[in-house]
Structure 1
Protein backbone atom coordinates (compact mmCIF):
# COMPACT_ATOMS: atom_id res chain seq x y z
CA UNK A 1 0.00 0.00 0.00
CA UNK A 2 1.53 3.30 -1.06
CA UNK A 3 0.59 6.73 0.12
CA UNK A 4 0.78 9.83 -1.98
CA UNK A 5 2.58 12.67 -0.27
CA UNK A 6 0.34 15.58 0.62
CA UNK A 7 0.60 18.42 -1.84
CA UNK A 8 1.76 21.65 -0.43
CA UNK A 9 0.43 24.79 -1.94
CA UNK A 10 1.28 28.41 -1.59
CA UNK A 11 -0.87 30.13 1.00
CA UNK A 12 -1.88 33.77 0.80
CA UNK A 13 0.19 36.02 3.03
CA UNK A 14 -3.00 37.33 4.67
CA UNK A 15 -3.72 33.81 6.00
CA UNK A 16 -0.39 33.82 7.81
CA UNK A 17 -0.18 37.45 8.93
CA UNK A 18 -3.74 37.74 10.28
CA UNK A 19 -3.32 35.23 13.12
CA UNK A 20 0.08 36.68 13.98
CA UNK A 21 -1.30 40.22 14.34
CA UNK A 22 -4.54 39.27 16.10
CA UNK A 23 -3.16 39.52 19.69
CA UNK A 24 -1.80 43.02 19.06
CA UNK A 25 -5.10 44.18 17.60
CA UNK A 26 -7.08 42.61 20.45
CA UNK A 27 -5.05 44.60 23.00
CA UNK A 28 -6.34 47.71 21.20
CA UNK A 29 -9.93 46.49 21.34
CA UNK A 30 -10.14 45.43 17.70
CA UNK A 31 -11.91 42.09 17.58
CA UNK A 32 -11.22 41.95 13.86
CA UNK A 33 -8.09 43.22 12.14
CA UNK A 34 -10.14 44.09 9.06
CA UNK A 35 -11.29 47.44 10.47
CA UNK A 36 -7.67 48.62 10.31
CA UNK A 37 -6.61 46.84 7.15
CA UNK A 38 -9.77 47.78 5.21
CA UNK A 39 -10.30 51.24 6.70
CA UNK A 40 -10.21 52.88 3.26
CA UNK A 41 -12.97 50.57 2.01
CA UNK A 42 -15.13 50.99 5.12
CA UNK A 43 -15.22 54.78 5.41
CA UNK A 44 -14.11 55.84 1.94
CA UNK A 45 -10.92 57.43 0.66
CA UNK A 46 -11.91 60.95 1.72
CA UNK A 47 -12.31 60.09 5.41
CA UNK A 48 -9.41 57.62 5.39
CA UNK A 49 -7.08 60.37 4.20
CA UNK A 50 -7.77 62.47 7.32
CA UNK A 51 -8.57 59.90 10.05
CA UNK A 52 -7.46 56.43 11.09
CA UNK A 53 -8.63 54.07 13.83
CA UNK A 54 -6.52 53.84 16.98
CA UNK A 55 -8.60 51.53 19.15
CA UNK A 56 -12.09 50.52 20.18
CA UNK A 57 -13.01 51.09 23.82
CA UNK A 58 -15.64 48.62 24.97
CA UNK A 59 -17.68 49.56 28.06
CA UNK A 60 -17.16 47.47 31.15
CA UNK A 61 -19.93 45.14 32.17
CA UNK A 62 -21.78 46.25 35.25
CA UNK A 63 -21.83 43.90 38.22
CA UNK A 64 -25.10 42.09 38.46
CA UNK A 65 -25.98 42.66 34.81
CA UNK A 66 -27.60 39.61 33.29
CA UNK A 67 -25.41 37.73 30.81
CA UNK A 68 -27.88 38.17 27.97
CA UNK A 69 -28.31 41.90 28.51
CA UNK A 70 -27.73 43.98 25.42
CA UNK A 71 -24.11 45.03 25.10
CA UNK A 72 -23.62 48.78 25.21
CA UNK A 73 -22.03 50.14 22.04
CA UNK A 74 -18.31 50.83 22.03
CA UNK A 75 -16.38 54.03 21.38
CA UNK A 76 -14.19 54.10 18.30
CA UNK A 77 -11.10 56.23 18.92
CA UNK A 78 -9.79 57.90 15.78
CA UNK A 79 -6.47 59.62 15.19
CA UNK A 80 -7.12 62.84 13.29
CA UNK A 81 -4.81 65.61 12.18
CA UNK A 82 -5.66 68.91 13.87
CA UNK A 83 -7.46 70.94 11.20
CA UNK A 84 -9.51 67.96 10.01
CA UNK A 85 -10.94 67.16 13.45
CA UNK A 86 -13.95 69.45 13.05
CA UNK A 87 -14.78 67.88 9.69
CA UNK A 88 -14.56 64.36 11.14
CA UNK A 89 -16.72 65.47 14.07
CA UNK A 90 -19.42 66.62 11.64
CA UNK A 91 -19.18 63.31 9.76
CA UNK A 92 -19.35 61.20 12.95
CA UNK A 93 -22.82 59.83 12.23
CA UNK A 94 -21.82 58.70 8.75
CA UNK A 95 -18.58 57.12 10.00
CA UNK A 96 -20.34 55.26 12.83
CA UNK A 97 -22.99 54.04 10.39
CA UNK A 98 -20.39 52.72 7.95
CA UNK A 99 -18.41 50.97 10.69
CA UNK A 100 -21.56 49.36 12.09
CA UNK A 101 -22.58 48.29 8.60
CA UNK A 102 -19.16 46.66 8.24
CA UNK A 103 -19.58 44.81 11.55
CA UNK A 104 -23.17 43.87 10.78
CA UNK A 105 -24.48 45.05 14.16
CA UNK A 106 -24.45 48.33 16.13
CA UNK A 107 -21.04 47.76 17.70
CA UNK A 108 -19.93 51.41 17.77
CA UNK A 109 -22.08 54.10 19.36
CA UNK A 110 -19.81 57.12 19.22
CA UNK A 111 -16.44 58.46 18.13
CA UNK A 112 -13.65 59.92 20.22
CA UNK A 113 -11.07 61.99 18.40
CA UNK A 114 -7.38 62.25 19.27
CA UNK A 115 -5.46 64.95 17.45
CA UNK A 116 -2.13 63.56 16.29
CA UNK A 117 -0.25 63.07 13.02
CA UNK A 118 -1.53 60.15 11.00
CA UNK A 119 0.63 57.06 10.67
CA UNK A 120 -0.06 56.60 7.00
CA UNK A 121 1.01 53.51 5.19
CA UNK A 122 3.51 54.23 2.47
CA UNK A 123 1.95 54.22 -0.94
CA UNK A 124 3.75 52.98 -3.98
CA UNK A 125 4.96 55.62 -6.35
CA UNK A 126 3.42 55.46 -9.77
CA UNK A 127 5.78 53.92 -12.27
CA UNK A 128 6.79 56.06 -15.17
CA UNK A 129 6.30 54.53 -18.56
CA UNK A 130 9.28 53.35 -20.55
CA UNK A 131 11.38 55.85 -22.47
CA UNK A 132 9.74 56.69 -25.85
CA UNK A 133 13.04 56.11 -27.66
CA UNK A 134 13.34 52.63 -26.11
CA UNK A 135 9.73 51.89 -27.13
CA UNK A 136 10.50 52.97 -30.71
CA UNK A 137 13.64 50.78 -30.78
CA UNK A 138 11.67 47.79 -29.45
CA UNK A 139 8.92 48.40 -32.02
CA UNK A 140 11.49 48.43 -34.83
CA UNK A 141 12.82 45.06 -33.66
CA UNK A 142 9.37 43.43 -33.69
CA UNK A 143 8.23 41.22 -36.57
CA UNK A 144 5.19 42.48 -38.50
CA UNK A 145 2.03 42.44 -36.34
CA UNK A 146 -1.38 43.12 -37.90
CA UNK A 147 -3.02 44.48 -34.75
CA UNK A 148 -1.60 47.96 -34.08
CA UNK A 149 -2.68 47.97 -30.39
CA UNK A 150 -0.94 44.65 -29.82
CA UNK A 151 2.18 45.94 -31.56
CA UNK A 152 2.27 49.03 -29.30
CA UNK A 153 1.75 46.92 -26.19
CA UNK A 154 4.54 44.52 -27.18
CA UNK A 155 6.87 47.43 -27.87
CA UNK A 156 6.16 48.96 -24.42
CA UNK A 157 6.65 45.57 -22.77
CA UNK A 158 9.93 45.00 -24.59
CA UNK A 159 11.22 48.45 -23.60
CA UNK A 160 10.21 47.89 -19.97
CA UNK A 161 11.91 44.48 -19.86
CA UNK A 162 15.14 45.84 -21.34
CA UNK A 163 15.06 48.81 -18.92
CA UNK A 164 15.08 46.59 -15.84
Structure 2
Protein backbone atom coordinates (compact mmCIF):
# COMPACT_ATOMS: atom_id res chain seq x y z
CA UNK A 1 0.00 0.00 0.00
CA UNK A 2 2.84 2.38 0.84
CA UNK A 3 4.50 1.68 -2.52
CA UNK A 4 1.33 2.59 -4.40
CA UNK A 5 0.84 5.74 -2.31
CA UNK A 6 4.42 6.91 -2.75
CA UNK A 7 4.46 6.17 -6.48
CA UNK A 8 1.04 7.75 -7.17
CA UNK A 9 2.34 11.05 -8.63
CA UNK A 10 4.60 9.17 -11.05
CA UNK A 11 1.82 6.77 -12.03
CA UNK A 12 -0.53 9.69 -12.69
CA UNK A 13 2.12 11.29 -14.91
CA UNK A 14 2.52 8.05 -16.87
CA UNK A 15 -1.25 7.69 -17.33
CA UNK A 16 -1.60 11.29 -18.52
CA UNK A 17 1.32 10.83 -20.92
CA UNK A 18 -0.35 7.73 -22.41
CA UNK A 19 -3.57 9.71 -22.87
CA UNK A 20 -1.71 12.59 -24.56
CA UNK A 21 0.17 10.11 -26.76
CA UNK A 22 -3.03 8.33 -27.80
CA UNK A 23 -4.68 11.63 -28.67
CA UNK A 24 -1.62 12.77 -30.62
CA UNK A 25 -1.65 9.61 -32.72
CA UNK A 26 -5.23 10.38 -33.78
CA UNK A 27 -4.19 13.69 -35.40
CA UNK A 28 -4.53 13.12 -39.13
CA UNK A 29 -2.09 14.11 -41.86
CA UNK A 30 0.73 15.03 -39.52
CA UNK A 31 4.30 13.83 -39.39
CA UNK A 32 5.87 12.90 -36.07
CA UNK A 33 9.27 14.24 -37.16
CA UNK A 34 8.08 17.65 -38.41
CA UNK A 35 8.79 20.16 -35.60
CA UNK A 36 6.29 22.57 -37.15
CA UNK A 37 3.57 19.94 -37.25
CA UNK A 38 0.81 19.63 -34.72
CA UNK A 39 1.74 16.11 -33.63
CA UNK A 40 5.41 16.79 -32.80
CA UNK A 41 4.82 18.91 -29.70
CA UNK A 42 2.18 16.54 -28.32
CA UNK A 43 4.48 13.55 -28.78
CA UNK A 44 7.38 15.43 -27.22
CA UNK A 45 5.31 16.35 -24.15
CA UNK A 46 4.00 12.79 -23.76
CA UNK A 47 7.52 11.36 -24.07
CA UNK A 48 9.04 13.77 -21.52
CA UNK A 49 6.11 13.24 -19.14
CA UNK A 50 6.38 9.45 -19.42
CA UNK A 51 10.14 9.49 -18.74
CA UNK A 52 9.63 11.85 -15.80
CA UNK A 53 6.85 9.66 -14.41
CA UNK A 54 8.97 6.52 -14.67
CA UNK A 55 11.93 8.20 -12.96
CA UNK A 56 9.62 9.54 -10.22
CA UNK A 57 8.16 6.08 -9.61
CA UNK A 58 11.57 4.45 -9.49
CA UNK A 59 12.98 7.04 -7.10
CA UNK A 60 9.93 6.83 -4.82
CA UNK A 61 10.01 3.03 -4.70
CA UNK A 62 13.77 3.01 -4.09
CA UNK A 63 13.41 5.54 -1.24
CA UNK A 64 10.56 3.55 0.29
CA UNK A 65 12.52 0.28 0.10
CA UNK A 66 15.64 1.89 1.54
CA UNK A 67 13.67 3.32 4.47
CA UNK A 68 11.90 0.01 5.03
CA UNK A 69 15.21 -1.89 4.98
CA UNK A 70 16.74 0.60 7.41
CA UNK A 71 13.87 0.23 9.84
CA UNK A 72 13.85 -3.59 9.50
CA UNK A 73 17.57 -3.74 10.28
CA UNK A 74 17.04 -2.08 13.64
CA UNK A 75 15.68 -4.73 15.98
CA UNK A 76 15.34 -2.36 18.95
CA UNK A 77 13.30 0.77 18.37
CA UNK A 78 13.24 3.77 20.62
CA UNK A 79 11.04 6.81 20.78
CA UNK A 80 13.75 8.99 19.29
CA UNK A 81 14.13 6.89 16.13
CA UNK A 82 12.10 7.68 13.05
CA UNK A 83 9.88 4.99 11.70
CA UNK A 84 9.87 4.14 8.00
CA UNK A 85 6.90 6.35 7.16
CA UNK A 86 8.06 9.50 8.95
CA UNK A 87 11.13 9.97 6.75
CA UNK A 88 9.13 9.60 3.54
CA UNK A 89 7.45 12.64 2.09
CA UNK A 90 3.83 11.63 1.70
CA UNK A 91 1.08 13.76 0.21
CA UNK A 92 -1.28 14.96 2.87
CA UNK A 93 -4.77 16.37 2.46
CA UNK A 94 -3.47 19.93 2.04
CA UNK A 95 -1.14 18.86 -0.78
CA UNK A 96 -3.98 17.14 -2.62
CA UNK A 97 -6.11 20.28 -2.23
CA UNK A 98 -3.29 22.37 -3.72
CA UNK A 99 -2.94 20.02 -6.70
CA UNK A 100 -6.71 19.95 -7.25
CA UNK A 101 -6.96 23.74 -7.00
CA UNK A 102 -4.13 24.24 -9.48
CA UNK A 103 -5.65 21.70 -11.87
CA UNK A 104 -8.98 23.54 -11.71
CA UNK A 105 -7.18 26.87 -12.19
CA UNK A 106 -5.55 25.54 -15.37
CA UNK A 107 -8.91 24.24 -16.57
CA UNK A 108 -10.55 27.64 -16.01
CA UNK A 109 -7.60 29.31 -17.76
CA UNK A 110 -8.00 27.10 -20.83
CA UNK A 111 -11.76 27.75 -20.88
CA UNK A 112 -11.24 31.52 -20.52
CA UNK A 113 -8.85 31.88 -23.46
CA UNK A 114 -11.55 31.64 -26.18
CA UNK A 115 -13.87 33.92 -24.20
CA UNK A 116 -11.64 36.83 -23.16
CA UNK A 117 -8.55 36.12 -25.35
CA UNK A 118 -5.04 35.02 -24.44
CA UNK A 119 -3.56 38.08 -22.75
CA UNK A 120 -6.27 38.84 -20.14
CA UNK A 121 -6.72 35.12 -19.36
CA UNK A 122 -2.96 34.67 -18.92
CA UNK A 123 -2.72 37.75 -16.71
CA UNK A 124 -5.53 36.44 -14.48
CA UNK A 125 -3.97 32.97 -14.39
CA UNK A 126 -0.51 34.27 -13.48
CA UNK A 127 -1.87 36.60 -10.81
CA UNK A 128 -4.00 33.95 -9.10
CA UNK A 129 -1.40 31.20 -9.32
CA UNK A 130 1.43 33.34 -7.95
CA UNK A 131 -0.72 34.62 -5.13
CA UNK A 132 -1.94 31.16 -4.20
CA UNK A 133 1.32 29.25 -4.64
CA UNK A 134 3.90 31.76 -3.45
CA UNK A 135 1.67 33.98 -1.33
CA UNK A 136 3.60 37.10 -2.38
CA UNK A 137 2.41 40.67 -1.97
CA UNK A 138 -0.02 42.10 -4.49
CA UNK A 139 2.52 44.69 -5.69
CA UNK A 140 5.12 42.07 -6.59
CA UNK A 141 2.42 39.80 -8.00
CA UNK A 142 1.03 42.47 -10.35
CA UNK A 143 4.53 43.61 -11.32
CA UNK A 144 5.64 40.08 -12.24
CA UNK A 145 2.38 39.36 -14.07
CA UNK A 146 2.57 42.56 -16.13
CA UNK A 147 6.28 41.96 -16.79
CA UNK A 148 5.60 38.40 -17.92
CA UNK A 149 2.83 39.56 -20.22
CA UNK A 150 5.10 42.24 -21.68
CA UNK A 151 7.88 39.71 -22.34
CA UNK A 152 5.41 37.26 -23.90
CA UNK A 153 3.98 39.99 -26.12
CA UNK A 154 7.33 41.41 -27.23
CA UNK A 155 9.10 38.09 -27.71
CA UNK A 156 6.38 35.96 -29.24
CA UNK A 157 3.92 38.40 -30.84
CA UNK A 158 6.33 41.07 -32.06
CA UNK A 159 9.67 39.32 -32.56
CA UNK A 160 8.54 35.83 -33.58
CA UNK A 161 5.22 36.93 -35.16
CA UNK A 162 3.15 34.30 -33.36
CA UNK A 163 -0.56 34.99 -33.36
CA UNK A 164 -2.26 34.29 -30.04
CA UNK A 165 -5.95 33.41 -29.72
TM-score, scaled to structure 1:
0.23
CA radius of gyration, larger in: 1
More helix by share: 2
Q: Relative to total residues, which structure has the larger strand share, 1 or 2?
A: 1
